[in-house]
Homo-oligomer: A and B are copies of this chain.
Amino acid sequence: MRRIRLTLDYIGTSYAGWQIQPGKDTIEGRVEQALFRLTGEEIKVVASGRTDAGVHALEQVAHFDTGTDFDLRAYTNGINVFLPPDIRVTDARVVPDTFHARFDAKRKTYEYRFYVSKVDRAVLYNRAHRLQSMPDLTALNEAAALFVGEHDFAAFMSSGSDVKTTVRTVYSALFAAQSESEFTFEVSANGFLYNMVRKMVGALIKISENKLTSADISRALADPASTNLPYVAPACGLYLKRVEYEN
C-alpha cells in the first residue's frame, strides 16, 4: 500500500459539496468513483476539509491509500479521464503513511470574489457574488483587520458542526481590487469553522451597506456566546485557494 496526495480544483456549482452523501452528486463521490474505475479498489478519499454545495476550489488537497503502483501520472491524467471537466486532479505525489490531508493542514486560504454591477453578468454567473456598488475597500479592510489574531469565532459558525474548540487564529484578512468592477477578499487561518468565511464575508457586506458596524464585529469576537451574526454570503463567490502543510 502507498499513500497518494492529490491536488484538485473544481467548480462546485453542480455538486452538493465535497462530502459524500446518499443520493447526492458530490465531489468526493465523483473522485472515489473515478478512482474505483482506475484502480478497481474501493477507496476513501480524505480532503483537507469539506467545501459546501456551490463552493469552488482553486486548490484542494486530499489523500488516499492504494495497492496500485501506477506511474504517478495515472493519478492525475488517468483519474481525469473518469472525472467530469469541472473537477480536475492537477497534481499527485507519494507521501509518507503518516501524512493526513485534514489533520496536518497548518494553514488554509480562502478567496471570496465580488463584482459590482446593476445587473447580473453572464461571464461571472456562479463564479462571483454581485454587489450593486463598489464599497469603500479601505473601510472594509479596517473592519477585516479585526478578525486577525486568535479569537473565539463561535459567532461566525453555523450550527450543525461538532468541534472541540471554536478558537481559531486568522493570519490575514484583506480586500483587494482586481479591476474597476471586481475585487476579492482573501483570508488565511490555521483552520475555519463551519460557514466561517461566508459569515465573515456576510458581516463585512452588511458593514459596506451600513447595516452593521465594526463595533458589531468586535462585540461578536469579544462575547461570542451572546452574539450570532446571521448573514451568510452566497456560496458561489467562495474559492478554497490554498492548503499549506509543514515542509
Contact = CB atoms under 8 A, between A and B. Distances in A.
A119 B56 contact: no
Contacts of A91: 119
Give the copy number.
2
A179 to B, nearest CB: 11
Interface string A3-18: 0000011110000000
Interface residues of A, number: 25
A23 interface: no
Residue among A58, A91, A119, A121 facing the most chain B CB atoms (10 A cut-off): A119
A11 B123 contact: yes
Interface string A97-122: 00000000000000000000101111
Contact of A88 (B9, B11, B122): B122
A214 interface: no
A147 to B, nearest CB: 25
A39 interface: no
Contact of A89 (B85, B119, B239): B119
Nearest to A239: B123
A11 B86 CA distance: 15
A90 B11 contact: no
Contacts of A86: 122, 125
A87 interface: yes
Contact of A85 (B56, B87, B122): B122
A85 B120 contact: yes
Interface in A1-54: 8-11
8 contacts: A11-B125, A76-B119, A86-B122, A86-B125, A87-B122, A88-B119, A88-B120, A88-B122
